[in-house]
């Protein structure tokens, strides 16, 4: 499949999707879809024509066995005359990422052909095929005959999960990745450290998990003048073997994991084990309440940077992607204002204020990260005091930070609190909803979001990599609630980052979502069913 083919299809995509009266339960909405009439009957006699070592072929075979008790075979030499699913990887050496993630899906009465220039495109084509299958088990699965040509709008299609405030098991993280894969997300932002818990094993510094990975108790409800705690010790972390397993699982599904190792703030859990890297020397305990601790890494102490660099070196060995998220947000400066080492650093480096000291901190860490062939991502506070030369900005305090970064020719991931924070309420009937941090981000507001600000020039818009949904877990105590807060808002966001705006239609999305939700039912997902009330 060539890039030029997709360019030609762009001109007819809107017409073809709009003219199709039949609703197909594919999310995100394909950019070109045309019904051709009739059905293909997939059965035990169907052959998947592909390399037997292909993960995509094995994935489809396993899916059919698990969910339908169909035992198809894989054969790389079977002539595809009838009753076949042909996976055709038309490798193109110079294909861009968007080309590699694009695919064509053709269903005829004889069989199915999925063509792509990369294995990611094949995988996405398979996910679309899976969504077309009837949910009910049958020895003959009838699939509507159609043609799809599809390609993503953005290169960064992300979802986030905070495993610091509350810890989720390895299998739960994998299930979260399953949801991302189904809806064609390609980035999993894994929040692993914060004031309330350090969740990744670092062999050189075992106290990070044995001390920082535990807290004595946890605040009940929201902070108030009369705080109450549950009195129960809480902890958990991922061993490096756990991380390798999860990374491999995600990689097979064409999802890159971006680990977040917070600095210079949100670092109390680390300082609980290693207080010598603070401004005061401690002692500290892992935070038992929500919010932000005033105790942060000392920016004036050279050994602090060595400590962080050693941590990042182990992190880099575990995560093959090019990005590491360093946080950089909500860093109180109170300790720095009083710290002799920080004052000296500011004087030596001719820094006018603590914001510039944070910029110095981030830039110094970035230089190390770049030396290892990696790139940093940070929340939009890294703009304060001056942006590090190669940093990618994640804009969460609205969109202004992203706009400012793009105007400075820095790459941007748009993730504004409204509407991309899925820890916010999704219904105005808050008394009937689980406790949330606040805010209101209903399904339609997520669906209607456009990550590319119109205030940017055409050249500046090219710096918008995409968008991301965030799931912070102060008030999300178990994985069932992660599902409830994420789904179906994740579905809406998937269409934001994949489908061209002119091919989107909210009423059509709701109709498809009602059909698609049967797959979520089969996965035993605890999703919010508020959309069933919508026309």
- Dist. CA 62–CA 187, nearest whole Å: 24
Write out the DSSP string of 397-445: SSSHHHHHHHHTT--EEE--HHHHBTTSBSSS-GGGS---SS-B--HHH
List 194, 295, 380, 384, catalytic entry? 194
- Strand-pairing partners, residue 468, are 158
> What's the Rg (C-alpha) of the chain?
24
- Dist. CA 329–CA 295, nearest whole Å: 14
At residue 75, φ and ψ (nearest 5 deg) are -145, 120
Say if residues 484 and 502 touch (Cβ distance below 8 Å). no
Burial grade of 387 (CB within 10 A; 0-12, 13-18, 19 or more): buried
- Dist. CA 385–CA 164, nearest whole Å: 28
Q: Is 189 a catalytic residue?
A: no
Say if residues 386 and 352 touch (Cβ distance below 8 Å). no
304 is written with which tokens?
Answer: 């602090």
- Dist. CA 249–CA 241, nearest whole Å: 12
- Dist. CA 151–CA 81, nearest whole Å: 28
109 is written with which tokens?
Answer: 């009465």
Q: Is 127 a catalytic residue?
A: no
Identify the three-state secondary structure at position 516. Answer: helix
List 189, 191, 254, 266, catalytic entry? 266
Write out the DSSP string of 360-394: HHHHHHHHHHHHTT-EEEEEGGGGTT---TT-EEE
- Dist. CA 271–CA 143, nearest whole Å: 57
Say if residues 59 and 167 touch (Cβ distance below 8 Å). no
Dihedral sign of CA atoms 281, 343, 298, 395 in order: positive
How long is the chain?
535
What are the b/e assignments for 460-498, b being 16+ CB within 10 Å? beebbbbbbbbbbbbbbeebebbbbbbbbbbbbbbbbbb
List 172, 330, 353, 444, catalytic entry? 330
- Dist. CA 211–CA 233, nearest whole Å: 12
392 is written with which tokens?
Answer: 């990618």
Q: Is 160 a catalytic residue?
A: no
Angle between helices 170-182 and 240-252 (to 10 degrees): 20
- Strand-pairing partners, residue 416, are none
Catalytic residue positions, numbered: 194, 266, 330
């Amino acid at each position: 499949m060539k890039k030029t083919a997709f360019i030609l299809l762009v001109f007819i995509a809107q017409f073809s999707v709009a003219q199709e009266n039949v609703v197909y339960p594919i999310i995100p909405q394909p950019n070109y879809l045309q019904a051709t009439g009739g059905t293909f009957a997939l059965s035990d006699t169907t052959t998947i024509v592909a390399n037997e070592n292909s993960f995509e072929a094995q994935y489809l075979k396993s899916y059919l066995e698990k969910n339908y008790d169909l035992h198809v075979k894989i054969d790389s030499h079977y002539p595809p005359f009838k009753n076949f699913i042909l996976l055709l990887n038309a490798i193109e050496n110079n294909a861009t990422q968007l080309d590699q993630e694009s695919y064509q899906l053709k269903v005829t009465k004889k069989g199915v052909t999925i063509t792509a220039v990369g294995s990611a495109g094949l995988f996405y084509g398979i996910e679309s095929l899976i969504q077309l299958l009837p949910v009910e088990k049958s020895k003959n699965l009838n699939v509507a005959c159609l043609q799809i040509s599809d390609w993503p709008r953005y290169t960064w299609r992300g979802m986030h999960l905070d495993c610091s405030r509350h810890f989720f098991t390895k299998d739960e993280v994998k299930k979260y990745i399953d949801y991302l894969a189904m809806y064609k997300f390609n980035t999993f932002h894994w929040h692993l450290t914060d004031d309330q818990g350090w969740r990744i094993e670092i062999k050189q510094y075992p106290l990070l998990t044995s001390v920082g990975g535990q807290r004595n108790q946890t605040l009940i409800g929201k902070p108030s003048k009369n705080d109450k705690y549950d009195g129960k010790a809480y902890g958990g972390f991922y061993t490096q073997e756990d991380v390798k397993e999860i990374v491999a699982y995600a990689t097979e599904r064409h999802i890159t994991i971006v680990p977040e190792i917070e600095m210079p703030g949100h670092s109390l859990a680390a300082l609980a084990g290693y207080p010598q890297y603070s401004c005061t020397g401690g002692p500290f305990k892992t935070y038992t309440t929500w919010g932000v601790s005033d105790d942060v890494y000392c920016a004036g102490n050279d050994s602090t940077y060595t400590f962080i660099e050693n941590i990042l070196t182990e992190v880099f060995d575990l995560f093959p992607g090019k990005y590491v998220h360093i946080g950089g947000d909500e860093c109180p400066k109170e300790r720095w204002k009083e710290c002799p080492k920080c004052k000296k650093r500011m004087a030596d480096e001719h820094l006018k204020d603590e914001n510039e000291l944070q910029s110095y901190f981030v830039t110094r860490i970035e230089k190390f990260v770049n030396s290892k062939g990696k790139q940093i991502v940070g929340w939009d506070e890294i703009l304060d005091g001056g942006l590090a030369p190669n940093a990618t900005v994640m804009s969460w305090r609205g969109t202004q930070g992203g706009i400012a970064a793009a105007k400075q020719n820095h790459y941007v991931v748009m993730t504004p609190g409204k509407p991309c924070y899925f820890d916010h309420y999704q219904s105005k009937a808050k008394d009937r909803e689980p406790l949330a941090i606040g805010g209101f981000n209903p399904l339609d507001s997520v669906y209607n979001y456009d990550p590319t600000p119109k205030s940017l020039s055409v050249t500046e818009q090219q710096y918008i990599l995409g968008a991301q949904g965030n799931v912070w877990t102060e008030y999300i105590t178990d994985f069932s609630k992660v599902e409830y807060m994420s789904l179906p808002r994740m579905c809406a966001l998937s269409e934001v980052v994949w489908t061209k705006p002119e091919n989107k239609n909210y009423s059509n999305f709701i109709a498809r979502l009602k059909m698609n939700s049967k797959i979520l039912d089969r996965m035993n997902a605890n999703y919010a069913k508020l959309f069933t009330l919508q026309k």
